[in-house]
Structure 1
Amino acid sequence: MNKKISAMYFSPTGTTKKVVSGIAQKISENINGEVTINNIDFTLPEVRKESVAFTGKDVVVIGTPVIAGRVPNVLLKYLNSISGNGALAISIVVYGNRNYDDAAIELKDILESNGFKVIAAGAFIGEHSFSKTLAQNRPDEKDMAIVSDFAHKIYAKITSEDDIQTVVVKGNKPYGKYYTPKNENGVPVDIRKVTPKTNSNCTDCKVCASVCPMGSIDYEDVSKLNGICIKCCACIKSCPTEAKYFDDKDYLRHKYELEVEFASRREPELFL
């Protein structure tokens, strides 16, 4: 197979990276000879300032997390700047065990509208950004075994079909509305402007500022935000002293609700 392999991902807490990189690595292992994977991590804002272009000689595994059942809207401008030019794409969404809703079909549509030929897609589960218990430590060993098998089937499709067919994925058109949490009275609540707090455990190590995908945490005073918060919780999960936290009652109620109602293990869904 005379193709170049690229792995592209937005992955604040590493779950999407693990799935996307795993698929790209396993595809490359099927190719005779030494293959170098082109890794494009567009998690941090500086990377998203430059567009990327591919050609028909490329195979691109591209993944994003699911936020409120959709592709994160903060990524739309960047994703629409990427030029496929006939490259083959495997589109991946990773969600926190609730539901991926219309994210899979949305990502596929974005890629196809920008010149990619989407030949496979998957919806995988990663530890929920809000929680340390919901889908804890996923993608886990079982998930990664599915990643390996999926990659093998993708390679077989690429190498056995003269006219490689595009894939059909689950989802609605038009896309559904963004998922909205509700309070104890069943009234929708808006947690988009909720931001993390910083407690006295903070040692000013700057880790939180360095991992924020929006570049919103003030480097000089990490207790301040200079931009939006997408609730990826990279700052919380990466803090070595557990200094970052949320205290908004609607956010905390939603987190608890997710952990209780969606505790049962969901499995990846693959489209090939």
Structure 2
Amino acid sequence: MSDTEKKTVWAACFSPTGTTKKIVNALSDQIAKTFDWEQKNFDFTLLDARTGSPSFTSNDVVVLGMPVYAGRVPNLMGSYLRSLVGGGALAVPVVLYGNRAYEDSLIELRDILEEDGFCTIAGGAFIGEHSFSHILGAGRPDAADMEIAAQFGAEICGKLRRDTQEHPVSVPGCTPYRNYHQPADQQGNRLVFLKDKPKTNEDCNKCGLCIKLCPLGSIDKDDPSLVSGPCMKCGACVKGCPKKAKYYDSVPFLRHKQDLEELYTNPRKEPEYYL
């Protein structure tokens, strides 16, 4: 790569609880500072941010991160992701999962970006605190994760210096993709809570923060106890409420949460990356 060739580095993400954004920002910061390139942010977590998208070109490097839901890219975000126009931009797909498994999410995100016209040159899977739990992946990405992110960032920069831009990057996963993970109890009985929504307790002071945090715009603007639209169980309202007023009381949901914590809190999974 020519020393005079300037690019713009984009930190792009869907990150309802902020864990994906932490890794994406770290990687994009490192690339931008290494080459003294301009950096821009494209956080499309909230509904209003998804009314359009930047016009990417071959002069861009896009680090794009998504959380993993049931081993895949969140299904409610698929249409929007497929509407992006890569324009030949270099891309680094990154997924964040809650210490269970990332399954086919990384290869799926890579494929979506390639189909959109991006050139994927690296990819990574990192661990973040699970959207259902404060125990599973607690506090992650933590300092050790950020050290690995820094190593990944350094290797991305090395690849950019070498101007080796073969794509798509090779990442683990199955094609065709496996079905979304179907929750079941430890006896194998299926747990169904897809249509369940968070409840609101008496501690709610109607501050409206949950309304602003909901990535689907599903919480009623006049009465935050009402969830009129779909719920993707992202954890934004539950984890973001300063009064701890949002919660789930669905028996299947709570059973699944307990099983996840019992089965997957240990051993600690470590980040993986590919170039």
Same fold (TM over 0.5): yes
Q: Is the 8 A contact 2:28 2:39 kept in 1?
A: yes
Give the counterpart of 1:140 among 139, 142, 157: 142
Alpha-carbon distance, 1:121 to partner: 0.2
Please say if residues 191 and 256 of structure 2, whose CA atoms lie closer than 8 Å, have aligned partners that are also in contact: no
CA distance in 2, matches of 1:163, 1:93: 21
User: Which of 62, 65, 70 lines up with 1:63 in the alignment?
Assistant: 65
Q: Which amino acid aligns with 1:15?
A: T
> Where does 1:119-198 land on structure 2 (aligned, <5 Å)?
119-183=121-185, 185-198=187-200
Partner of 1:90: 92
Q: 1:266 aligns with which of 246, 265, 269?
A: 269
Distance change >3 Å, CA 61–CA 5, structure 1 → 2: same
Task: Quickly say closer, same or farther: Cα 1:186–1:17, change in 2 above 3 A.
Answer: same
- Runs (4+) of structure 1 moved beyond 2 Å? 161-166
Q: Report whether the alignment pairs 1:234 with 2:236.
A: yes
Structure 1 residue 128: Cα displacement = 0.3
Unmatched runs of 5 consecutive residues or more in structure 2: none
Deviation sequence 1:124-167 (CA, Å, 0-9, x none): 00000000111111000000111111111101101113554531
Q: Report the more deviating stretch, 89-98 or 156-165.
A: 156-165
TM score, norm. by length of structure 2: 0.95
Report what 1:4 is aligned to: 8
Q: Which amino acid aligns with 2:273?
A: L
Q: 1:162 to 1:222 in 2, by over 3 A?
A: closer
Counterpart amino acid of residue 161 in structure 1: D
Aligned-pair CA distance for 1:51: 3.1
Percent of residue pairs identical: 48
Gaps of 5+ in 1: none
Task: Summarize deviations over 1:90-118 as a string: whole Å, max 9, x none.
Answer: 00010000001100000000000011100
The alpha carbon displacement at 1:20 in A equals 0.4
Change (3 A) 1:106 1:27: same
Deviation at 1:36, TM superposition (A): 3.0
- 2:23 aligned to 19, 28, 40, which one? 19
What are the within-5 Å matches in structure 2 for residues 196-215 of structure 1? 196-215=198-217
Residue by residue over 1:14-63, the C-alpha shift from the partner in whole angstroms, topping out at 9 and shown as x without a partner, is: 000000011000111211x4x33110000001111113321111100001
Distance 2:21 2:170 in 1: 23
Query: Structure 1 pair 146/163, CA: closer, same or farther in 2 (3 Å)?
Result: closer
Within the candidate set 23, 45, 48, 2:47 is matched to 45
Separation (CA, whole Å) in 2 of partners of 1:165 and 1:105? 13
46-55 or 209-218, which moves further after superposition?
46-55
Number of residues paired by the alignment? 270
- Measure the CA separation in 1 of the matches of 2:90 and 2:82: 16
Q: Is this contact kept in 1: 2:26–2:149, CA < 8 A?
A: yes
